[in-house]
Structure 1
Amino acid sequence: MAVGTFRGGLPVEVTGFVGRSEELAEVGRLLERARLVTVVGAGGVGKTRVALRVARSVAARYPGGVCLVELSGLHDPELLPGTVGLALGLPEQSVRSQLETVLDYLRGRELLLVLDTCEHLVDACAMFADTVLREAPGVTVLATSRQPLDVPGEHTYPVPPLPVPEPYGASGGGSVEGSAVELFAQRAAAVCPGFQITAANHDQVLALCRRLDGIPLAIELATVRLRALSLDQLLDRLEDRFRLLAGGRRTALPRHQTLRTAIDWSHELCTPAERLLWARLSVFAGPFDLATAEHVCADDVLPRAEVMEPLIGLVDKSLVLRDGDGGQYRMLDTIREYGAENLAGFDDADALRGRHVDRHLAEVRFFDENFTDDAQADRYHALRGKHDGLRASLQYALALPGRQRDAAALAARLWGYWQISGLLTEGRYWLTKALDRFPEPCSERAELLTVRAYLTTFGSDPVAAAADLNEAIPMADALGDLRVGARARVYLHLVAVFGGDPDRAVALSAEAREKLAATGDVVGLSQLDTQDGHLYHMTGDHFRALDFCERGLRRLGAGSRERWIRGYLLYVSSVAHYRKGDHAAAAERARAALHCKFALGDRIGIAYCLETFVLLAVSTDRHARAAWLLGAADPLWERAGSRFSGTAAMNELHRSAETKVRASLPPGRYEELHSLGARTAIEQVVEAAINDADPPALVPSARAQETPTALDALTRREREVAALVAEGLSNREIAGRLFISKRTADAHVEHILSKLGISSRVLIAGLLEAARHR
């Protein structure tokens, strides 16, 4: 029997199918070894499309054919066997039950039975599938559901939302094939003939797809609105996504006609405890674990011991997603916002948000108070994984009555987190928001000013940093806050070091050390050791610089696994060794520093370390390696906002090395290698730097013509466009020359920049020039 000879034959696809190659292949493989496979996922994620596409592709395996049983319109579980029989084309019999009739038909046949949309009939579908597996050994069942059927022998496969690519120019970004963006383009073109994704609208489409979590249903509903709204208007109105994404196609299933009804469908299937927990979990803006969910969501109504069961239920219904094997859970934004709407109707919303603040504040304080111990890296990475949650706690603390001091403590005690992660601008943002709550002199204001000044110094604004510190120091002294007063002096010393004022730095160092000793602040003393080492190597007293570095390393302990301060002490030591001519010691310390910074994920620290490797490469005439390393470091510096926090002496050392490298390489070669470095994964860069290895692309010039270049990734048309860009033509002039639209020319240039891993049109000319010299 062929596919489609049942009444429940597979429907013809009327819209294009996007992506899902991995999902289709894996479900197909599961059907080879299992007789019950359930495709699970959130509402609107595309479970049915995946199942039907797989069923169509494997139909030849089943001599008895493929039968689709659509269950979304069925609400009485007792009618399930009759619905299956109807799909199989079986007549009703008054003397026998429909289940017996169906089983008699299925026995001895080899067919694939597709049960679509089982979640609202999960018990009935589970019993039916279990019976079929036992009574009809030739039948395979492929089900779709928002939760597993939980039948012995069942294999489940979760269908995730469609991926949303990174923006053009980002590492690995640019490709839209098989992504949410491709779906948007395809569906938008059906609604608005001629619609294309161009350089002008690409970022808007990316943002829209990301805001919709890559959920196919949400994207399809959004494109329908393009009949009346522009992309800008659509994006602006997504704050109220449930109201906006209504009025879907009249032919869609009722539960898919609007985004709200799709999620309402899931909500109706939840138990009261699951609905309550769903609403309460909406306070989490990012991943959470079971212990945190119990701490925040439990109360007298939902005791701590009873949180786990509804959480498991929400996971089973694909409303909460489990991230890997690390015990972390998360909600898609769309699901979370639905829960937040329900939470708004409860009286305990503020209490929940307050417990959210308490949980994160305890973690942040522990991280700060134990900053230099061996678990520093693990604790930092744990906080990094909760970044959205930290943001939410800061927002809640700032908004909740009586929690302003907690907001100040969160923002200030995250000083190390802001610095390590390179989030200097965001850190200053939250510190400033908290400062607005404390306009009068107090300990909170003094600490917030001190930490903001520290981040501002690394952001190359010494004047603003000094202004904050000059207010904070007398305030802390007047209040008797010795810890904040001592740290503020450490950071004022940093301003003097970076600003090239050695005499003032020496005086501030002595004053700060006296204050730090009184409080026993090991972190502050170790930071000051690093800063003094930096000061003396820049003034030419390399032996004294090394003495301070060794003092700081001893202070942390010989076997310390602290990474952040230790990494900077080793970095300063490497530069001091280099400047006094001991290149072997410089390389050894630079490798150790880079190990520390890479283990921690400190991108700014990695940039500092790579600069030492640049100096060492130049000193041995390995100019190609140096150009590549400079390219690898530059994106990291861009993230920091400035190179070496604007320190003149270090920038001069960098410029001298860069000038020598440019002069030593053939025309265009520096740009090519620099671009290659910028596009190389940071893991590969670190490995090559530590192992003193040249990446494979850095071959001797005699073989250069045999080596593929970034230009080889361009299509013929893109090479034409690149050549015209190199001639200095604008996109409009290129369009006229090639008889294409300006929008098409814009798109070509964006693709070229993305493929070459560069952000400037000027560099295209350099790469073409280098290719001509190969």
Structure 2
Amino acid sequence: MLVELLGRDAELTDLLPMARGGPLVTVVGPAGVGKSRFATEVATRLAGEFADGVRVVSVDAMSGADQLAAAFVHVAGLDPGEASSVQVCASLAERELLLLLDGCEHLIAECGAWLQALLPAAPKLRVLATSRQALDLWQERKYPLEPMDLPDVGAQGSSLSEAPSVQVFAYYAAMADPAFRLDDRSAADVAELCRRLSGLPLALQLAASRAGSFTVSQLLDRLDGWGALRRATAAPAHHQSLNDALAWSFRLCTAEERLLWSRLSVFVGPFTLAMVAEVCGDERLLPSDLLRDALDGLVRRSVLQDHGNGSYRLLAVLREYGATHLARSEEATASRLARRSWALRMAGAAQAGWRSGQQVEWVRRMTDHWDELESVVEESLLDPEGGEGVLTLLTDLWFLWVAGGRMREGRHFLEAALAVEREPTPARARALWVCAWLALLQDDLTAAHTLLPEMDQAMEGPADDADRAYACYVHGALATLAYDTDVATEHLRDALELMPEEAPFGPGADMIRLTSAAARSRTKPEVARRAALAIQKSCRRRSDGWNATWGDYVLAIVDLMSGEVDSAEKHARAALKVRQEYGDPYGMAVVAHVLSGIMAARPGQEQLAAELEGAASALRKEHGMSLRATRYYWKEHQQTVDRLFATLGDARYEQSYQAGAGQCIDRLLGDPLVE
């Protein structure tokens, strides 16, 4: 939750119309002046005015052009492994979107190049950037954000207390010490402190966080003792002021707090106390009460943000400052390896937890930690010693790719890791079939088939029976999509013979059985129905909700093909309910397409059917997924679309389709949650 923005009313009045008018406004100013917070406030206030909303790109968290390019590709909703700048421009050409580029100063040329291409191609796009220097583009309007206004020398009473810098200090001081009051005794010292800190909001906040331990006069003495605002000959005064404020805050910390601050800089996203203990704890910061005291101390000093839900975060500038101290120590490599070990352990625990009735919880936990996991993967790919470990990490997260809406990212990273780690290990064998599976789910059948020879060869080496079974499953799934039922049945039978009943990894034997049932949904519907019901019962007994809901999906298809529309809707809505709980966009999309077929089979529901088509297609495109990966329903889907065009007409179908594309599936259906 954002803290109230204080003392910026006049600036907001200036910038809001500028940001509306665009095409590019850059908020420029020194470090610590509050550019990010100010721009976020502007974006929040304008969000409702843009049909496609607001997207935020945290450029300050990026280390180079590749990450920036990947962020633009993500904003455009394209495949990170293949999209070009031309495709990004084409995708954003008609979007009515406010794009916030936060912290561009270290990638000025790269940001400028992207915007030079994007702005002419996307006339409805508005860009709000923050940077310590302007981007120097001809379309750019610069908005200098100055430090907070200071009280006049000798000001007293309301003229002093109404100064924005004083308001900011008093606000955070009262948070640190509820007994703090801005009165005649403290006013002069507060005014002097604001001047000494150059009116920089971050520096003011850091100083105010010590109000519970020191009087304002004592805070001033400490500034004097360390020369915290001394001008540097090689750096602008405002830049030096922030560095000195950070150094001063670091100096105020205890030895344990300083050590923890440095070690916490390895985290790029939110972290919990358990993560801190695992990655940062050792004999110098344990037992746990010592570690907790250090953590609480950093929160009190406003070094750490406490989100109030058990998670914490270091602001980027504070993380960077801690990282400089970590780099000077002998602990940098050990800290990075400790974070990597945490990621491997977490992914392994999640993969095991998937089979223990905690599927939804683990999807959510891994989603919450995605920034951290992604950073570990990227770091490991650059480490010659990290290859096999990153393959294990990526395969253990198979459920996040398939059921957690990150199919694109999973495949992209698996392909990169397979290109780096060529040794014939069990981890590589497993990664090959997972990568091929993701490719076929995205309907990239060429890529999936390309992986098959290497996958088959790997299965002849150091692979276990479960992985060999999944390799057979991939062959069977590909044959199913080609409508080659006999070949599919043979491969799926081989997979079931190899698969242990309690698979140590992956979605297990029930997924294979369900695929086999789905393959027979057209030719042998009663056989498919009985098989799906039996598998579903088995899944629910073992709290395997993900496979159980695929059973509902198969039953919905069988019932729809058999003309049992009411029963089909019941199963489809049940499947949709569970997919929503998982946050599974692929599952939601394919079920919504079946629901479209169900509505199309009912006279008077054709418009809703077309809207569902639009919503499902938009969801698939956003996440890089294809309905053709479930080709046992593809023909029926095409027949549904043809029937809707014939019933509604081209114009009305297109209007309904586009209307649905802008809505959530459950909103179209009313209440899809069924018991």
Give the drift of 1:542.
Answer: 0.9
Give the drift of 1:18.
Answer: 6.9
In 1, are the aligned partners of 2:262 and 2:326 still within 8 Å (CA)?
Answer: yes
Matches within 5 A, 1:537-552: 537=521, 539-552=522-535
Which of 112, 130, 137 lines up with 1:230 in the alignment? 137
Aligned-partner Cα distance in 1 for 2:393–2:138? 37
Which of 53, 56, 76 lines up with 1:174 in the alignment? 53
Alignment TM-score, normalising by the size of structure 1: 0.59
In 2, are the aligned partners of 1:255 and 1:262 still within 8 Å (CA)?
Answer: no
In 2, are the aligned partners of 1:372 and 1:556 still within 8 Å (CA)?
Answer: no
Which of 589, 599, 607 lines up with 2:581 in the alignment? 599
Could you say what the CA RMSD is over the residues aligned between the two structures, in angstroms? 4.1
Q: Which amino acid aligns with 1:564?
A: W
Which of 651, 676, 687 lines up with 2:659 in the alignment? 676
> 1:654-696, CA deviations, whole angstroms, 9 ceiling, x for partnerless residues?
222122223323663333332322222455246444579xxxx
Q: Specify the alignment match of 1:644 in structure 2.
A: 627
> 1:257-312, CA deviations, whole angstroms, 9 ceiling, x for partnerless residues?
64563354144123143333222212112111111112111223333532222322
Aligned-partner Cα distance in 2 for 1:208–1:308? 35
In 2, are the aligned partners of 1:165 and 1:173 still within 8 Å (CA)?
Answer: no
> 1:219-267, CA deviations, whole angstroms, 9 ceiling, x for partnerless residues?
99956732x73389999xxxxxxxxx99999999636464563354144
Aligned-partner Cα distance in 2 for 1:638–1:582? 30
Aligned-partner Cα distance in 2 for 1:246–1:545? 66
Aligned-partner Cα distance in 2 for 1:168–1:221? 15
Q: Specify the alignment match of 1:254 in structure 2.
A: 198
Q: Specify the alignment match of 1:534 in structure 2.
A: 518
> Within the alignment, does 1:620 sit opposite 2:528 as a pair?
no
Greater radius of gyration (CA): 1
- After the TM superposition, which of the residue ranges 251-260 and 284-293 deviates more from structure 2? 251-260
Matches within 5 A, 1:720-759: none
Q: Which amino acid aligns with 1:660?
A: R
Which of 559, 562, 565 lines up with 1:580 in the alignment? 562
Aligned-partner Cα distance in 1 for 2:361–2:497? 32
**Helix, strand or coil for the counterpart of 2:473?**
helix
Q: Specify the alignment match of 2:291 in structure 1.
A: 307
Aligned-partner Cα distance in 1 for 2:539–2:9? 65
Aligned-partner Cα distance in 1 for 2:575–2:448? 27
Q: Which amino acid aligns with 1:570?
A: D
Identify if the C-alpha distance between structure 1 residues 616 and 44 changes in structure 2 by more than 3 Å, giving closer, same or farther: same
> Within the alignment, does 1:415 sit opposite 2:404 as a pair?
no
Identify if the C-alpha distance between structure 1 residues 223 and 483 changes in structure 2 by more than 3 Å, giving closer, same or farther: closer
Which of 209, 214, 221 lines up with 2:102 in the alignment? 209
Give the drift of 1:612.
Answer: 1.9
> 1:402-444, CA deviations, whole angstroms, 9 ceiling, x for partnerless residues?
4432211101111111111232221122112222332232222
Identify if the C-alpha distance between structure 1 residues 343 and 164 changes in structure 2 by more than 3 Å, giving closer, same or farther: farther
Aligned-partner Cα distance in 1 for 2:39–2:273? 22
Which of 436, 448, 458 lines up with 1:453 in the alignment? 436
In 2, are the aligned partners of 1:377 and 1:562 still within 8 Å (CA)?
Answer: no
Give the drift of 1:466.
Answer: 2.6
Give the drift of 1:584.
Answer: 2.2
Q: Specify the alignment match of 1:107 in structure 2.
A: none
Q: Which amino acid aligns with 1:162?
A: E
In 2, are the aligned partners of 1:354 and 1:396 still within 8 Å (CA)?
Answer: no
Give the drift of 1:515.
Answer: 0.5
**Helix, strand or coil for the counterpart of 2:312?**
strand
In 2, are the aligned partners of 1:274 and 1:314 still within 8 Å (CA)?
Answer: yes
Paired residues, number: 513
Give the drift of 1:486.
Answer: 1.4
Q: Which amino acid aligns with 2:133?
A: R
**Helix, strand or coil for the counterpart of 1:206?**
strand
Q: Specify the alignment match of 1:62 in structure 2.
A: none
Identify if the C-alpha distance between structure 1 residues 318 and 684 changes in structure 2 by more than 3 Å, giving closer, same or farther: farther
Aligned-partner Cα distance in 1 for 2:34–2:132? 17
**Helix, strand or coil for the counterpart of 1:208?**
strand
Matches within 5 A, 1:418-457: 418-457=401-440
In 2, are the aligned partners of 1:374 and 1:562 still within 8 Å (CA)?
Answer: yes
In 2, are the aligned partners of 1:490 and 1:524 still within 8 Å (CA)?
Answer: no
In 2, are the aligned partners of 1:483 and 1:516 still within 8 Å (CA)?
Answer: yes
Give the drift of 1:529.
Answer: 1.3
Identify if the C-alpha distance between structure 1 residues 278 and 11 changes in structure 2 by more than 3 Å, giving closer, same or farther: closer
**Helix, strand or coil for the counterpart of 1:598?**
helix
Q: Which amino acid aligns with 1:351?
A: A
In 1, are the aligned partners of 2:600 and 2:609 still within 8 Å (CA)?
Answer: yes
Q: Specify the alignment match of 1:265 in structure 2.
A: 245
Give the drift of 1:341.
Answer: 3.3
> 1:535-580, CA deviations, whole angstroms, 9 ceiling, x for partnerless residues?
111x43111211221232133244x543322221211111111111
Give the drift of 1:625.
Answer: 1.3
Aligned-partner Cα distance in 2 for 1:628–1:588? 19
In 1, are the aligned partners of 2:557 and 2:633 still within 8 Å (CA)?
Answer: no
Give the drift of 1:43.
Answer: 4.9
Which of 312, 325, 332 lines up with 1:329 in the alignment? 312
**Helix, strand or coil for the counterpart of 1:330?**
strand
Q: Specify the alignment match of 2:363 in structure 1.
A: 380
In 2, are the aligned partners of 1:533 and 1:573 still within 8 Å (CA)?
Answer: no
In 2, are the aligned partners of 1:168 and 1:174 still within 8 Å (CA)?
Answer: yes
Give the drift of 1:354.
Answer: 1.2
Identity of aligned residues (%): 24
Identify if the C-alpha distance between structure 1 residues 231 and 482 changes in structure 2 by more than 3 Å, giving closer, same or farther: farther
Which of 301, 310, 324 lines up with 1:341 in the alignment? 324
Matches within 5 A, 1:489-568: 489-517=472-500, 520=503, 523-537=507-521, 539-558=522-541, 560-568=542-550
Give the drift of 1:331.
Answer: 2.6
Q: Specify the alignment match of 2:349 in structure 1.
A: 366
The gaps in structure 1 that reach 5 residues or longer are 1-9, 21-41, 51-158, 181-198, 213-218, 236-244, 693-774
Q: Which amino acid aligns with 1:535?
A: A
> 1:488-532, CA deviations, whole angstroms, 9 ceiling, x for partnerless residues?
111221111123221210110111111114775683211101211
In 1, are the aligned partners of 2:52 and 2:95 still within 8 Å (CA)?
Answer: no
Identify if the C-alpha distance between structure 1 residues 167 and 360 changes in structure 2 by more than 3 Å, giving closer, same or farther: farther
Q: Which amino acid aligns with 1:652?
A: K
In 2, are the aligned partners of 1:204 and 1:232 still within 8 Å (CA)?
Answer: no
Aligned-partner Cα distance in 1 for 2:466–2:642? 45
Alignment TM-score, normalising by the size of structure 2: 0.67
Aligned-partner Cα distance in 1 for 2:554–2:596? 15
**Helix, strand or coil for the counterpart of 2:422?**
coil
Q: Which amino acid aligns with 1:531?
A: T
Identify if the C-alpha distance between structure 1 residues 202 and 455 changes in structure 2 by more than 3 Å, giving closer, same or farther: closer
Identify if the C-alpha distance between structure 1 residues 313 and 234 changes in structure 2 by more than 3 Å, giving closer, same or farther: farther
Identify if the C-alpha distance between structure 1 residues 535 and 14 changes in structure 2 by more than 3 Å, giving closer, same or farther: closer
In 1, are the aligned partners of 2:606 and 2:648 still within 8 Å (CA)?
Answer: yes
**Helix, strand or coil for the counterpart of 1:225?**
coil
In 1, are the aligned partners of 2:100 and 2:129 still within 8 Å (CA)?
Answer: no
Aligned-partner Cα distance in 2 for 1:220–1:588? 46
In 1, are the aligned partners of 2:610 and 2:656 still within 8 Å (CA)?
Answer: yes
The gaps in structure 2 that reach 5 residues or longer are 1-5, 17-30, 60-91, 106-126, 151-194, 201-236
Q: Specify the alignment match of 2:302 in structure 1.
A: 318
> 1:17-63, CA deviations, whole angstroms, 9 ceiling, x for partnerless residues?
4799xxxxxxxxxxxxxxxxxxxxx954489xx9xxxxxxxxxxxxx
